[in-house]
Protein backbone atom coordinates (compact mmCIF):
# COMPACT_ATOMS: atom_id res chain seq x y z
CA UNK A 1 0.00 0.00 0.00
CA UNK A 2 1.22 3.47 -0.89
CA UNK A 3 0.84 5.61 2.25
CA UNK A 4 0.61 9.40 1.99
CA UNK A 5 0.47 12.32 4.35
CA UNK A 6 -2.68 14.45 4.24
CA UNK A 7 -0.71 17.24 2.56
CA UNK A 8 0.72 14.96 -0.15
CA UNK A 9 -2.70 13.40 -0.80
CA UNK A 10 -4.36 16.82 -1.07
CA UNK A 11 -1.76 18.18 -3.50
CA UNK A 12 -2.38 15.41 -6.07
CA UNK A 13 -5.76 14.03 -5.01
CA UNK A 14 -6.94 13.41 -8.58
CA UNK A 15 -3.81 11.37 -9.35
CA UNK A 16 -4.23 9.20 -6.25
CA UNK A 17 -7.92 8.65 -6.90
CA UNK A 18 -7.19 7.56 -10.49
CA UNK A 19 -4.51 5.16 -9.23
CA UNK A 20 -7.06 3.76 -6.78
CA UNK A 21 -9.51 3.18 -9.66
CA UNK A 22 -6.71 1.35 -11.49
CA UNK A 23 -6.44 -1.07 -8.55
CA UNK A 24 -3.57 0.44 -6.57
CA UNK A 25 -3.88 0.49 -2.77
CA UNK A 26 -3.58 4.09 -1.53
CA UNK A 27 -3.90 5.21 2.07
CA UNK A 28 -3.61 8.49 3.96
CA UNK A 29 -2.03 8.64 7.42
CA UNK A 30 -3.97 10.78 9.89
CA UNK A 31 -3.79 10.75 13.70
CA UNK A 32 -1.74 7.56 13.68
CA UNK A 33 -4.19 5.61 11.53
CA UNK A 34 -4.31 4.86 7.82
CA UNK A 35 -7.51 5.69 5.94
CA UNK A 36 -7.68 3.80 2.65
CA UNK A 37 -9.14 4.99 -0.64
CA UNK A 38 -11.68 2.51 -2.01
CA UNK A 39 -14.01 2.80 -4.99
CA UNK A 40 -17.66 2.27 -4.09
CA UNK A 41 -20.68 1.53 -6.23
CA UNK A 42 -23.78 3.66 -5.81
CA UNK A 43 -27.03 1.94 -6.65
CA UNK A 44 -29.74 4.37 -7.67
CA UNK A 45 -32.56 2.21 -6.32
CA UNK A 46 -31.31 2.55 -2.74
CA UNK A 47 -29.64 5.97 -2.97
CA UNK A 48 -32.53 7.96 -1.46
CA UNK A 49 -32.92 5.48 1.37
CA UNK A 50 -29.23 5.53 2.21
CA UNK A 51 -28.65 9.26 1.68
CA UNK A 52 -31.89 10.68 3.09
CA UNK A 53 -33.47 7.86 5.07
CA UNK A 54 -36.52 7.86 2.80
CA UNK A 55 -38.73 4.79 2.96
CA UNK A 56 -40.01 3.05 -0.20
CA UNK A 57 -43.51 4.43 0.53
CA UNK A 58 -42.15 7.98 0.82
CA UNK A 59 -40.29 7.57 -2.48
CA UNK A 60 -43.44 6.27 -4.18
CA UNK A 61 -45.45 9.24 -2.87
CA UNK A 62 -42.76 11.65 -4.07
CA UNK A 63 -42.66 10.06 -7.55
CA UNK A 64 -46.45 10.17 -7.78
CA UNK A 65 -46.54 13.86 -6.78
CA UNK A 66 -43.70 14.76 -9.16
CA UNK A 67 -45.37 12.95 -12.07
CA UNK A 68 -48.69 14.63 -11.27
CA UNK A 69 -47.00 18.05 -11.28
CA UNK A 70 -45.23 17.30 -14.58
CA UNK A 71 -48.49 16.12 -16.18
CA UNK A 72 -50.20 19.32 -15.05
CA UNK A 73 -47.37 21.46 -16.43
CA UNK A 74 -47.43 19.57 -19.75
CA UNK A 75 -51.18 20.10 -20.12
CA UNK A 76 -50.79 23.81 -19.31
CA UNK A 77 -47.87 24.04 -21.81
CA UNK A 78 -45.51 25.33 -19.11
CA UNK A 79 -42.71 22.97 -20.18
CA UNK A 80 -40.29 23.74 -22.98
CA UNK A 81 -37.91 21.32 -24.68
CA UNK A 82 -34.29 21.78 -23.64
CA UNK A 83 -32.51 23.69 -26.41
CA UNK A 84 -29.02 23.17 -25.07
CA UNK A 85 -28.82 26.64 -23.51
CA UNK A 86 -29.72 27.47 -19.93
CA UNK A 87 -30.85 31.05 -19.44
CA UNK A 88 -30.56 32.89 -16.17
CA UNK A 89 -31.02 36.50 -15.16
CA UNK A 90 -27.41 37.34 -16.07
CA UNK A 91 -27.28 35.89 -19.58
CA UNK A 92 -27.03 32.30 -20.61
CA UNK A 93 -24.93 29.25 -19.92
CA UNK A 94 -24.00 27.18 -22.96
CA UNK A 95 -24.37 23.40 -22.87
CA UNK A 96 -20.97 21.75 -22.76
CA UNK A 97 -20.22 19.15 -25.41
Q: Which of 9, 8, 39 is nearest to 21 (CA)?
A: 39
- Has this prediction a pTM greater than 0.85? no
Q: Which of 33, 16, 35, 12 is nearest to 24 (CA)?
A: 16
Q: What is the CB-side half-sphere exposure of residue 40 using CA atoms within 13 A? A: 6
Look at residue 91 in the predicted model and tell me its pLDDT.
Answer: 54
Tens digits of per-residue pLDDT, 42-54?
A: 777 777 888 888 8
Tens digits of per-residue pLDDT, 13-65?
A: 999 999 999 999 999 999 999 999 999 887 777 778 888 888 889 989 999 99
- Residue 92 banded pLDDT, cuts 50, 70, 90: low
The answer to whether the CB of 17 falls within 8 A of the CB of 4 is no
Cα separation, 16 vs 20, whole angstroms: 6
Look at residue 52 in the predicted model and tell me its pLDDT.
Answer: 83
Amino acid sequence: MKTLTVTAARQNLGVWLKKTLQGEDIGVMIDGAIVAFRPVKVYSEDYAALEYGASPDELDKFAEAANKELDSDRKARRLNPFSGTLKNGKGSIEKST
